[in-house]
């Protein structure tokens, strides 16, 4: 049996609408399909701190490591499998096909905040309803009051590489507000080897020649922005 995840907040899954379903990512159930559809596409990880996974064993090792941002034992994170319900049933889910993964990360209970990140939408499901609905479901669930079954968050955030135009477009389509640019926000050790995209700036002293650094754009959404405008934007984006 796959190792279960822990999270600061109770999560009642599945989180779903008529097009997409989010369930806890289960390596034994979802791992093989995820690797099969991503192993020949290292570009999926070009803007992320994690390196491309080539086997289920590598994926399992990474998610079971302690004290990493996507560790199953990290209570600040929760990884979901994205199920595309517009497809036929599959070995991974009776309601559809595995379309990728998405996570709550960097969750801070005292501040009632979390981040949507570690998004990998598999190639076959890109440029479709999948990304907007997966992100939208996490926003809706995150901002829903706790007494109505949600997390009752006050703020959600989004970081993306300044070079990742697709992620920028998603953030702005979903109503996140740009706070600013963070230079040298993230190091990609030996990033050139793994096909990472850097910031095209000089390497800091002491860097390996194959290291890369990422500049990040920081986006935020507070509860009032959600109530006043972003909720409607999200609903429209999810329905298109």
**Position 124 in a domain:** yes
Quote the domain boundaries for residue 51: 15-239
The model's pLDDT over 166-217, given as tens digits with 9 standing for 90+, comes to: 999 999 999 999 999 999 999 999 999 999 999 999 999 999 999 999 999 9
Domain count, the chain: 1
DSSP the chain: -PPPP--SS---S-EE-SSEEEEE--HHHHHHHHHHHHTT-GGGGTTSSSPPP-SHHHHHHHHHSTTSTT-TT-TT-EEEEEEETTSPP-SS-TTSEEEEEEEEEEEEGGGTEEEEEEEEE-GGGSSSSHHHHHHHHHHHHHHS-GGGTS---SEEEEEEETT-HHHHHHHHHTT-EEEEEEEEEEEETTTTTTT----SSPPPTT--TT-EEEEEEEEEEEHHHIIIIIHHHHHHHHH-
Provide mean pLDDT across the span 52-58: 95
**Position 10 in a domain:** no
133, pLDDT greater than 90: yes
Q: Is residue 1 very low, low, confident or very high in pLDDT (cuts 50, 70, 90)?
A: very low
CA distances for 140 relative to 157, 199, 211, angstroms: 14, 33, 38
CATH at 136: 3.40.630.30
Q: Is residue 69 very low, low, confident or very high in pLDDT (cuts 50, 70, 90)?
A: confident
**Position 187 in a domain:** yes
Q: What is the pLDDT at residue 68?
A: 85
Average pLDDT along the chain: 96
**Position 215 in a domain:** yes
**Position 58 in a domain:** yes
2, pLDDT greater than 80: no
1-10, 20-29, 108-117, 192-201, range with the lowest pLDDT: 1-10
Torsion, CA 199, CA 205, CA 206, CA 211, rounded to 10: 10
Q: Is residue 3 very low, low, confident or very high in pLDDT (cuts 50, 70, 90)?
A: low
The model's pLDDT over 81-128, given as tens digits with 9 standing for 90+, comes to: 999 999 999 999 999 999 999 999 999 999 999 999 999 999 999 999
């Amino acid at each position: 049996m796959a190792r279960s995840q822990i999270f600061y907040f109770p999560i009642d899954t599945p989180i779903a609408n008529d097009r997409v379903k989010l369930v806890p990512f289960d390596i034994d159930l979802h791992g093989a399909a995820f690797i099969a559809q991503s192993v020949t596409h290292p570009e999926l990880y070009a803007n992320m701190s994690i390196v491309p996974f080539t086997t289920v064993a590598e994926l399992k090792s990474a998610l079971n490591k302690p004290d990493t941002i996507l560790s199953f034992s990290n209570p600040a994170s929760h990884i979901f499998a994205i199920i595309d319900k517009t497809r036929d049933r599959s070995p991974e889910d009776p309601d559809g096909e595995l379309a990728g993964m998405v996570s709550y990360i960097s969750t801070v209970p005292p501040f009632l905040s979390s981040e949507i990140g570690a998004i990998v939408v598999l190639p076959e499901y890109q440029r479709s309803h999948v990304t907007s609905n997966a992100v939208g479901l996490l926003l809706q669930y995150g901002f829903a009051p706790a007494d109505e079954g949600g997390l009752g968050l006050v703020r959600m955030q989004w970081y993306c590489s300044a070079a990742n135009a697709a992620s920028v477009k998603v953030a702005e389509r979903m109503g996140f507000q740009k706070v600013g640019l963070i230079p040298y926000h993230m190091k990609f050790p030996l990033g050139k080897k793994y096909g990472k995209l850097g910031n095209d700036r000089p390497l800091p002293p002491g860097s390996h020649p194959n290291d890369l650094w990422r500049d990040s754009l920081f986006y935020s959404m507070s509860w009032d922005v959600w109530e006043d405008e972003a909720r409607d934007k999200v609903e429209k984006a999810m329905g298109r």
